[in-house]
A and B are shown apart, each in its own frame.
Chain A
Amino acid sequence: MIELQQLHKTFGGKIAVQDVSFSAPDGQITGLLGPNGAGKTTTLRMLYTLLKPDRGRITVDGVDAALQPLEVRRRLGVLPDARGLYKRLTARENIAYFAQLHGLDAQLIRRRSDALIETLAMQDIAERRVEGFSQGERVKTAIARALVHDPHHIVLDEPSNGLDVMATRSLRDFLRQLKAQGRCVLFSTHIMQEVAALCDRIVIIAGGRVVADGTAAQLRELAGEQSLEEAFVKIIGSAAVGELA
């Protein structure tokens, strides 16, 4: 269970995130939906303790991120916006490096890597150097690297960015598997179809604020629209108007 309460962050006087509160329960996929520049990445960066919020509180299973940042990071599997892999290492070496940083022993690293390589269908690229990987192969490697310590909470920043249709489909299947295992999955996106296809709960963020929070049905009802896309446009539109007023 991830809980964010009244987060606030400014960069050099410019407000990036304002009063953001929401929670991501276990066994569900929570989508953080919003246009580019809405504050999604900043919010997630505060969650995985790369940035310190100016105000507000973050807990992961009750552990306070401000007080025990290492403990929080241990519980999270993170696919950040920046996916940089080490291109002179093989996919397997990239995965093993992060496993070592989590303090896993060699035997466990081998077992977990094998399992992830199989699940993500990476057998034919595992021993190759990352240099020259396709975008889809990179994302797979980055996801395997993020999950090698078997985290209960999984945070993904725009995971489908740059993926083709087939890769996106298998990513969705994979996220559903994680959910079925009872894990807490939180991901951000600016693509409507993504949340519609996957999420149990949707948090819409615009202009650094949470403007709506609920299931797809609740959001359609809130906006009085039949399609989720129309509801999204309407909610974000009204938020922008609210911002101007």
Chain B
Amino acid sequence: MSPALAVYVKECRESLRDKRILLNALILGPLLGPLLFVGLLGFAIGHEREQADKPLPVVIIGAERAPNLVAALEQQGLQALPEPGDGDGDGAVREQRASLALRIGDHFAEDWRAGRPAQVDIIYDSSQREGGSQFERLHGMLENYSRRTGAMRLIARGLVPSAGSGLLIATRDQATPQARGALLFAMLPYFLILTSFIGGMWLAIDSTAGERERQSLEPLLVNPVARERILLGKLCAAASFSFTSLTLGLLAFSIAVRFLPSQRVEMSLSLGPAVMGTILLMMVPLVLLIVISQMVVAAFAKSYREAQTYVGLLQLLPLIPSIALSVLPVTPQLWMYSLPLIGQQLAMLRLLRGEAVTALPLALCTLVTVVAAVAAFLVAKRIYESERLAVNA
């Protein structure tokens, strides 16, 4: 057995016997993301649909001045609530006794009969969580009613109602169902990258800072094995755990996605075997880069705890491009694929949207990540070959 393989086998065996590593790297890491994510998303989707079907409760002030209007609104799903005792709609909304109020103007009946625009006030609070969408619904209902009665009046005067509209506006959304899904799934690449970080982290720390703290590094280095082989064995072990975590995480996502009511809100996410295979393959160099960076950071630290802190901070790194990509309205450019972490996230997003990723960005992204991983390996090798590694002098 070659020495690097011996190191690899020993590191894997030892880690598989550590409940904490198993729990973190192979269970919590891969499952936490999908469960949290799908749980939240499922709740959000369900809530939205529920809101759309539910009657809209509105406090109506002065309903007796416009019985026809109120009846028409009730047909569209409005639930008229009784007027508060003091007749103060603004106060009711401000103090959150009602989420929405409609005030019929004092001269509504006169104006209506005279064919003049009759005034109604919508009272709402846009800072409330559902204030915006409820307002939209009520506003839409009123618009409808206004348009209908307007058209009737034109016809009554012998005019064609369409003369009242200068434009005919139609909208066509070009988003495919997958793309609409991917908008919600924009954070999925981050979860997958984070899972790779969590999967490799424990081994990376344990086999460097941990081994030094337990004083087993010195006896290990006394063996007639070049240090880079020892490094290579440890690194492959950490990468195996990281990759296993990633695979489990991806599988968990593909299963969890089926529990989303995504069909009913016209969304779908392509996470079939082909997409999963491409994602895993594309992630190989990134996983290597991640675990080598973790080992470099862990080797720098003086103690296990210190290493945990630094590696934990390193974990926040992929969050930056994820947030940037989901907040800033950037169109992906080719050069962006040449940035490790960002390149993979962009490519994953495209794949999840059900779009093809061409060979050029994939090759670029892979090449740059491989170069970065090799550079990180050389840094790790230097640290491993320094006297400082084993001796706390």
Partner of B226, one of A45, A51, A70, A80: A70
| Contact of A83 with B by CB under 8 A | yes
Residues from chain A with Cβ under 8 Å of B18 in the complex: 88
- Once A73-B222, A84-B218 are accepted as A-B contacts, the answer to whether A103 and B3 lie under 8 Å apart by CB is yes
A28 to chain B, nearest CB (A): 22
| Contact of B170 with A by CB under 8 A | no
Residues from chain A with Cβ under 8 Å of B265 in the complex: none
Partner of B222, one of A50, A85, A87: A50
- Once A89-B10, A97-B6 are accepted as A-B contacts, the answer to whether A73 and B211 lie under 8 Å apart by CB is no
Q: Which residue of A lies closest to B218 (CB)?
A: A82
B17 touches A88 (CB 8 A): yes
| Contact of A241 with B by CB under 8 A | no
A89 touches B219 (CB 8 A): no
Residues from chain B with Cβ under 8 Å of A103 in the complex: 3
| Contact of A176 with B by CB under 8 A | no
A11 touches B223 (CB 8 A): no
A101 to chain B, nearest CB (A): 4
Whole-angstrom distance between the alpha carbons of A86 and B7 in the complex?
12
| Contact of A22 with B by CB under 8 A | no
User: In the complex, which residues 247-263 of chain B have their Cβ closer than 8 Å to any Cβ of chain A?
Assistant: none
Residues from chain A with Cβ under 8 Å of B14 in the complex: 86, 88-89
Whole-angstrom distance between the alpha carbons of A11 and B393 in the complex?
7
B246 to chain A, nearest CB (A): 24
Residues from chain B with Cβ under 8 Å of A70 in the complex: 224-226
Whole-angstrom distance between the alpha carbons of A73 and B3 in the complex?
14
Residues from chain A with Cβ under 8 Å of B13 in the complex: 89, 93
- Once A78-B222, A84-B211, A88-B14 are accepted as A-B contacts, the answer to whether A50 and B390 lie under 8 Å apart by CB is yes
| Contact of B94 with A by CB under 8 A | no
A222 to chain B, nearest CB (A): 33
A103 to chain B, nearest CB (A): 7
**How many interface residues does chain B have, given as a range?**
20 to 34
Interface residues of B (CB under 8 A from A): 1, 3, 6-7, 10, 13-14, 17-18, 211, 214-226, 387, 390-391, 393
| Contact of A74 with B by CB under 8 A | yes
Residues from chain A with Cβ under 8 Å of B218 in the complex: 50, 80-82, 84
User: In the complex, which residues 40-71 of chain A have their Cβ closer than 8 Å to any Cβ of chain B?
Assistant: 45, 48, 50-52, 70-71
| Contact of A209 with B by CB under 8 A | no
Of A73, A83, A86, chain B has the most CB atoms within 10 Å of the CB of: A86
A61 to chain B, nearest CB (A): 14
**How many interface residues does chain A have, given as a range?**
20 to 34
- Once A82-B215, A88-B17, A97-B6 are accepted as A-B contacts, the answer to whether A102 and B223 lie under 8 Å apart by CB is yes
B211 touches A80 (CB 8 A): no
How many A-B contacts are there with CB distance less than 8 Å? 76
A149 to chain B, nearest CB (A): 9
Residues from chain B with Cβ under 8 Å of A12 in the complex: 393
Residues from chain A with Cβ under 8 Å of B3 in the complex: 100-101, 103
Interface residues of A (CB under 8 A from B): 11-12, 45, 48, 50-52, 70-71, 73-74, 76, 78, 80-89, 93, 97-98, 100-103, 142, 145-146
B10 touches A86 (CB 8 A): yes
B223 touches A83 (CB 8 A): no
Whole-angstrom distance between the alpha carbons of A80 and B222 in the complex?
9
Whole-angstrom distance between the alpha carbons of A101 and B218 in the complex?
14
A84 touches B215 (CB 8 A): yes
A50 touches B219 (CB 8 A): no
Give 4 nearest A-B pairs by CB, closest first: A84-B216, A84-B215, A82-B215, A100-B6
Whole-angstrom distance between the alpha carbons of A81 and B214 in the complex?
12
A80 touches B219 (CB 8 A): yes
B21 to chain A, nearest CB (A): 10
B224 touches A51 (CB 8 A): no
Q: Which residue of B lies closest to A79 (CB)?
A: B219
B389 to chain A, nearest CB (A): 10
Residues from chain A with Cβ under 8 Å of B224 in the complex: 70-71, 73-74, 101-102
A83 touches B215 (CB 8 A): yes
Whole-angstrom distance between the alpha carbons of A83 and B7 in the complex?
18
B387 touches A51 (CB 8 A): yes
Whole-angstrom distance between the alpha carbons of A45 and B388 in the complex?
13
Q: Which residue of B lies closest to A16 (CB)?
A: B393
